């Protein structure tokens, strides 16, 4: 990738909390995967969001988004944001409650409005961290399904059709209701990618909830006018699902291998050429990878399998949290740069 191309695509990396320079001039946002939750904040001139995803200091880390351009930040209707004219990072939080659909609908609606107001129409990636994800709300609906309902309603109200939904993660967290953050681009060329071996999540049948999870399996973001081989691929949270069904329930090793196979197919030659993207990627090109593991004791086995497939230079974080379906033990995501 040339200097000129990379300057206009988003940059992120993982940093440990003690090596972080929060006041460095070129920060767009810092997402702390940490031991407590806090409302998103922009008091230091960039976006900061603390998500309760770590059990202690040893599994805490920060995801740092940087830019070459001057950053402006603000807050509107409970959504905090930072942007540089090319990329927008924004975040919100829905406090703990008996139900989440209406809070999710309102927060997502405000986020979509804000994106439109600020001129960032290409929504590349959303991350959603849902406390008590597999537990029921006050009406007996699983909280993940409740969240999906509110999200689908917000997308529908804003005429966000299935072909414009972003890549996403919807994963458990250790507290704080629902936290989310979003990456959008002003001029980037965005292509949603689907996996031919999986039913698109937005077409899942009703057995998985009243409204399907609205997300793309990945998005490809490139600089308009330059060849599409220069782009980045944002891979959504990916698990052991074929068609729409969970495979290998109870076998974390097989679930890890199938999740990896799904990602390999998604970023591989068949999928990319089908989407007219002139790029070839393998699991070794994936970076800033998050691997979510339901049972702490499974982490060593999952790590061993992942290390056989990822580049030794890739940044990989292992997080011990619940996954969106009770029969899934592992999920992973990353970015091809």
Please say which residue, 65 or 127, places its beta carbon nearer to ligand 3HB. Answer: 127
Helices 252-267 and 299-309: angle between axes, nearest 10 degrees: 30
Would you say 81 and 90 are in contact if contact means Cβ atoms under 8 Å apart? yes
Cα distances (Å, whole numbers) of residue 30 to 8, 16, 41, 81: 19, 11, 10, 11
CA pair distance 25, 209, nearest whole angstrom: 44
Region of 32-40, 164-172, 227-235, 298-306 interacting with ligand 3HB (CB under 6 A): 164-172
Report if residue 168 touches ligand 3HB, rule: CB under 6 A: yes
Report if residue 324 touches ligand 3HB, rule: CB under 6 A: yes
What is the sign of the dihedral through the CA atoms of 137, 162, 167 and 90? negative
Report if residue 331 touches ligand 3HB, rule: CB under 6 A: yes
Among candidate residues 86, 142, 194, 331, the one labeled active-site is 331
Q: What is the DSSP letter of 325?
A: S
Residue showing tokens 């049948």: 205
Binding mask 256-295 for ligand 3HB (x = CB under 6 A): ----------------------------------------
Active site residue 331: yes
Please say which residue, 9 or 235, places its beta carbon nearer to ligand 3HB. Answer: 235
Region of 72-80, 91-99, 168-176, 281-289 interacting with ligand 3HB (CB under 6 A): 168-176
Please say which residue, 177 or 213, places its beta carbon nearer to ligand 3HB. Answer: 213
Which two three-digit tokens encode residue 229? 């081989």
Among 164, 162, 67, smallest CA distance to 115 is for 164
Residue showing tokens 């966000």: 160
State the DSSP string of 136-151. B-TTS-BHHHHHHHHH
Q: What is the DSSP letter of 3?
A: H
Would you say 127 and 169 are in contact if contact means Cβ atoms under 8 Å apart? yes
User: Which of left, alpha, beta for 246 (phi over 0: left; psi -120 to 50: alpha)?
Assistant: beta
State the DSSP string of 70-112. --EEEEETTEEEEE-SSEEEEEEEE---S--HHHHHHHHHHHH
Which two three-digit tokens encode residue 14? 């993982």
Region of 34-42, 103-111, 163-171, 305-313 interacting with ligand 3HB (CB under 6 A): 163-171
Please say which residue, 71 or 241, places its beta carbon nearer to ligand 3HB. Answer: 241
Q: How far is the CB of 128 from ligand 3HB (least distance, A)?
A: 5
CA pair distance 184, 138, nearest whole angstrom: 34
By CB under 6 A, what part of segment 223-252 binds ligand 3HB? Answer: 236-237
Region of 162-170, 189-197, 223-231, 293-301 interacting with ligand 3HB (CB under 6 A): 162-170
Report if residue 169 touches ligand 3HB, rule: CB under 6 A: yes
3-class secondary-structure state, position 129: strand
Please say which residue, 155 or 230, places its beta carbon nearer to ligand 3HB. Answer: 155
Q: Which of 128, 134, 198, 200 binds ligand 3HB (CB under 6 A)?
A: 128
Which two three-digit tokens encode residue 334? 């990353």
Q: Which of 61, 100, 108, 215 binds ligand 3HB (CB under 6 A)?
A: 215
Residue nearest to ligand 3HB (CB): 170
Q: Which of 10, 92, 103, 170 binds ligand 3HB (CB under 6 A)?
A: 170
Report if residue 50 touches ligand 3HB, rule: CB under 6 A: no
Report if residue 213 touches ligand 3HB, rule: CB under 6 A: yes
Which two three-digit tokens encode residue 19? 């090596």
Please say which residue, 120 or 180, places its beta carbon nearer to ligand 3HB. Answer: 180
Q: How far is the CB of 166 from ligand 3HB (least distance, A)?
A: 9
Task: Cite the active site residues.
Answer: 331
Give residues in contact with ligand 3HB (CB under 6 A). 128, 168-170, 213, 215, 236-237, 324, 331
């Amino acid at each position: 990738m040339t200097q000129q191309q990379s300057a206009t695509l988003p940059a992120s990396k993982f940093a440990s909390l003690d090596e972080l320079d929060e006041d460095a001039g070129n920060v767009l946002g810092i997402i702390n995967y940490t031991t407590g939750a806090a409302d998103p904040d922009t008091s230091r001139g960039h976006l900061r969001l603390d998500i309760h995803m770590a059990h202690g200091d040893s599994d805490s880390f920060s995801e740092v988004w940087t830019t070459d351009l001057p950053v402006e930040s603000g807050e509107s209707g409970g959504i905090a944001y930072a942007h540089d004219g090319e990329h927008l990072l924004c975040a919100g939080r829905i406090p703990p409650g008996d139900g989440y659909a209406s809070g999710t609908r309102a927060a997502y609606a405000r986020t979509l409005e804000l994106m439109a107001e600020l001129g960032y129409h290409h929504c590349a990636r959303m991350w959603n961290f849902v406390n008590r994800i597999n537990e029921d709300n006050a009406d007996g609906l699983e909280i993940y399904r409740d969240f999906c309902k509110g999200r689908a309603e917000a997308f529908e109200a804003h005429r966000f059709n299935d072909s414009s939904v972003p890549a996403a993660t919807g994963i458990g967290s250790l507290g704080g209701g629902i936290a989310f953050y979003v990456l959008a681009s002003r001029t980037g060329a965005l292509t949603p990618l689907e996996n031919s071996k999986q039913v698109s999540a937005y077409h899942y049948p009703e057995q998985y909830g009243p409204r399907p999870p609205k997300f793309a399996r990945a998005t490809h973001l490139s600089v308009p006018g330059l060849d599409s081989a220069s782009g980045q691929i944002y891979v959504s949270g990916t698990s052991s699902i074929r068609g729409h069904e969970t495979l290998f329930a109870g076998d974390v090793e097989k679930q890890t291998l199938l999740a990896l196979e799904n990602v390999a197919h998604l970023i591989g030659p068949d999928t990319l050429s089908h989407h007219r993207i002139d790029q070839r990627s393998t699991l070794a090109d994936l970076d800033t990878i998050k691997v979510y593991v339901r049972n702490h004791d499974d982490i060593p086995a999952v790590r061993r399998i992942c290390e056989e497939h990822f580049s030794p230079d890739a940044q990989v974080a292992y997080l011990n949290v619940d996954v969106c379906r009770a029969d899934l033990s592992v999920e992973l995501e990353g970015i091809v740069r």
